[in-house]
A and B are shown apart, each in its own frame.
Chain A
Amino acid sequence: MRFATEVATMTGSLGNVGYGLAAIGAGIGIGLVVSKTIESIARQPELASRLQVTMWIGIAFTEALALIALATPFIFGS
């Protein structure tokens, strides 16, 4: 299998790919949170301020996972 060895010689860190994968989850999550908030505000504009506060809380929790992924190399790496 010459091909396999050639691929294995590619340089760089697999961690980058890992973080990219981790970011997908948070990206989808934040997208869902914001889109639902926009829908709700469109239906009931008078609730906008309260919904926005809830949205920021939701984003903060969703985003935390991607940020933990960003921190893992420093924590577990060396």
Chain B
Amino acid sequence: MPRKQETKLFAQTLSLLNAVVKPVAEGDGGFAPPTIGEFYPEAIFFAGTPFEINRIMLIRLLVLTLLLVLVMAWTRAFAKSYANQQYVPSRFQMMGEIAVGFVRRSIAHDQLGEKDGDRFLPLLTTIFFMVLGMNITGIIPALNIAGSSLIGLPLVLALGAYVTFIYAGIKKHGMGFFKTALIPSGVPSAFLPLVFLIELLSTFILRPVTLALRLTMNMVAGHLLLVLCFTATQFFFFESEGLFKIMGIGTFTFGFIFTLFEILVAFLQAYVFTLLTTVYIQLALADDH
């Protein structure tokens, strides 16, 4: 019976593999892989009240303050150079012009055109800098967790985008906005109920949900990956024996690479969030085809 032997062999290999893998993975009980508890740190102030403040909240408040100060300083620099008719920008002002101009030119004007782009620019700029600022704390030493890695903040931004594109649609087309959004023209009437349901789900439910989830899950996954890499490095260097120490170099390198990758992700998510908001507004403004 070769088949029976085969399965037996397979089972034996599995149990052998289990025996080999387990001591490495658990070591002397020292290695603790990161869990979702990472994102629910202990409360620091006002524990037990609805205004409980923990590490992530503090980071959010810090980022918010920094953003406010930065943007106010930029606005002041713009206004000052305009008032003095001094058209050669300082280095600080240049930075601001590049940052704000990026959202204005390559997101708002590209997708919406100059007129509508400038109309919705305040929201888009807010979303871009908010998401970027909250994301980048994920790789700043001593902060080490993204302010947007809990669903609350992305959800607020997504709701802002949601309300805005519905507002844009209603302002332009009145109640016809819902008609064109839910009942596209040129669909055979037999399919209309199906299309109606799909459009309802995708336009009015999945859009804000995916906006919020995309940002949150990117930050959650990135943070867990970094924690995994660096706790493994710590474990290999200080708690494991002999040859396993060498593996620490590998995990540290991976951690470093993923840190660089997280910088890219932080910018990319800010860009994608703003771009999608713009596209949703554009779709709401577009005439029925």
Q: Which of B10, B11, B268 has the most CB of A within 10 A?
A: B11
- Asked if B276 CB lies within 8 Å of chain A CBs, one says yes
Q: Interface on chain B toward A: helix, strand, loop, or mixed SS?
A: helix
Contact A64 B14 (CB under 8 A): no
Interchain CB contact under 8 A, B275 and A64: no
In Å, the complex CA distance between A6 and B210 comes to: 40
* A63 with B14: CB separation less than 8 A: no
Contact bitstring A45-78, B, C-beta under 8 A = 1, else 0: 0000110010011011101100110110010000
Tell me how many residues of A have a C-beta within 8 Å of chain B.
20
B221 CB-CB contact with A under 8 Å: yes
| Contact in complex: B276, A60 (CB < 8 Å) | yes
Evaluate contact between B214 and A67: CB separation under 8 angstroms: yes
Taking A53-B111, A56-B268, A70-B221 as known contacts, 20 extra A-B pairs with beta carbons closer than 8 A to each other, sorted by chain A number, are: A3-B8, A3-B10, A3-B11, A6-B14, A7-B11, A7-B14, A10-B14, A53-B106, A56-B271, A56-B275, A57-B276, A59-B272, A60-B214, A60-B272, A64-B213, A67-B210, A68-B213, A70-B217, A71-B213, A71-B217
Interface residues of B (CB under 8 A from A): 7-8, 10-11, 14-15, 18, 36, 106, 110-111, 210, 213-214, 216-218, 220-221, 268, 271-272, 275-276, 279
